[in-house]
Structure 1
Amino acid sequence: MTQRFSHNVDALSASIVRDYLLENSDFFIKHPDLLLSLRIPHTERGTVSLIEHQQQNLRARVSQLEEEITSLLSVASRNEDIYRFYNQLFFDLLEAVSIEQVNRILVDSFKRRFRFAKVRLVLTDAFGQFDQPELNLILRRRLNEQGYYLGRLPAQEQNPLVAQDTGSVALVCIGERTKPVGILAIASNDPGHFSPDMDTTMLDQVKQLMAYKIPKLL
């Protein structure tokens, strides 16, 4: 009975102290000498003073913020590089004077910048049909409403498009999905490089530019 009463008194006292400190946040400002005498358990150093504990937490927070800033700067730098790449690609495509030159620019640019295994531009006839009948079936089955397919394909579908059985692909429909001008097929050896949740903002611009440029060169 005495032990339980003592425990209840200790718990009540701790609660009262806690509430008092919450209501009087300037308590330790008025009594700074207490900060030096307070000790806090530490998993590696036994016990440390409250000030040492706060300094340790502050150093850890500063280190975390430095890592986050470094990560953000790295992402920003990478995004800037990608923006510069697409900006140059757009100008090169606008200046192209033949379909052969367009194809060469696409292949050389994407392979050089991203090290893709295969880049292929395939055009349709006047009726929006490909010379390879299997391509018409694959694209009707795979392209989404926005005219994209991003991800992995079975070898029997991927091989006719990019002459590759493994990895992942990006299929970009040029023009209307129901009557395409062509298809841009990009293959990566990495099975996870292209995925359905990828952002297509920059590819959208390539898609629109190609839909404008290609008919003028035919």
Structure 2
Amino acid sequence: MEDIELKQPFDEMLIREYLLDNPDFFNRYPELLLALRVPHHERGAVSLVERRQEMLSQRVAQLEEEITSLMNVAVRNEKIFEFNTQLCLDVLDSEDLGQLRITLANGLKSEFNFSHVRLITVHDIDSELANIWRSRISNDYYFGRLTQSESKRLFGSEVGSVALTRLKSENGQVIFAIASKDPAHFHPEMDALLFSQLRRILAHKLPKL
């Protein structure tokens, strides 16, 4: 006698779709909530009511964590906004290029723990800086890592990752460069809002120094 392949007498996906389309099903048949049992890795089999309550509790805990995380992000963003506003005002108050460099370095290093903050004038005779200017900052900004020689030329030592942009001043072209010890801190997909705001302020201020 040939073996007969046993098939489930129902389509699980059809039942799933039916229950999703009829969320009041168990209201019409409340006895099923207590009769049906669901495996539980710690408590054995539990009723659908118990399982639903547990899932709701887990969801509430997850939502509380998400809300806490969003609140922390909001507090951090507010702090960054206040810092950036004050830094921009300090930049505008700078009386010369030396004071401007000190203002940028002290502010950004203390707030974000950056390792280097530099404003570097690019002269035509300096081919290495000119190459960095052309290759790395062709689209106004560069976020990411540098070669060893590029790092040493811009910062005097190897760094983890950098944010670069280019500006113009009375003395010629200028590279605004920030470096972090963390190789992953600056990356191509990051938000450039803070950096672009500083760039606009510097673009306004540098020609006047």
* 8 Å contact kept, 1:170–1:194: yes
Match of 1:172 among 165, 170, 191: 165
Question: 1:1-218 alignment to 2 at 5 Å?
Answer: 11-12=9-10, 25-124=23-122, 129=123, 132-145=126-139, 147-175=140-168, 181-217=173-209
* 8 Å contact kept, 2:168–2:207: no
* 8 Å contact kept, 2:141–2:165: yes
- Aligned equivalents of 1:186, 1:210: Cα separation in 2: 14
What stretches of structure 2 of length at least 5 have no aligned partner? none
Superposition deviation, residue 166 in structure 1: 3.3
Equivalent residue letter for 1:138: I
SS of 1:116 mapped into structure 2: coil
SS of 2:9 mapped into structure 1: helix
* 8 Å contact kept, 2:136–2:142: yes
What stretches of structure 1 of length at least 5 have no aligned partner? none
Q: Percent identity?
A: 44
| Residues 14, 49 of structure 1: alpha-carbon distance in 2 compared, 3 angstrom cutoff | same
- Aligned equivalents of 2:206, 2:14: Cα separation in 1: 78
| Residues 28, 166 of structure 1: alpha-carbon distance in 2 compared, 3 angstrom cutoff | closer
- Aligned equivalents of 2:129, 2:19: Cα separation in 1: 73
- Aligned equivalents of 1:133, 1:17: Cα separation in 2: 71
Superposition deviation, residue 132 in structure 1: 4.0
The CA deviation string for residues 14-39 of structure 1, in whole angstroms up to 9 with x for no partner, is: 89988886776545334434433332
| Residues 140, 81 of structure 1: alpha-carbon distance in 2 compared, 3 angstrom cutoff | same
SS of 1:74 mapped into structure 2: helix
- Aligned equivalents of 1:154, 1:97: Cα separation in 2: 35
Equivalent residue letter for 2:177: A
- Aligned equivalents of 2:200, 2:51: Cα separation in 1: 58
| Residues 198, 26 of structure 1: alpha-carbon distance in 2 compared, 3 angstrom cutoff | closer
The CA deviation string for residues 46-79 of structure 1, in whole angstroms up to 9 with x for no partner, is: 1111211110111111111111112211222221
The structure having more radius of gyration, on CA atoms, is 1
The CA deviation string for residues 110-141 of structure 1, in whole angstroms up to 9 with x for no partner, is: 111111111111235xxxx3674421122112
* 8 Å contact kept, 2:168–2:206: no
Number of aligned positions between the proteins = 207
| Residues 119, 130 of structure 1: alpha-carbon distance in 2 compared, 3 angstrom cutoff | farther
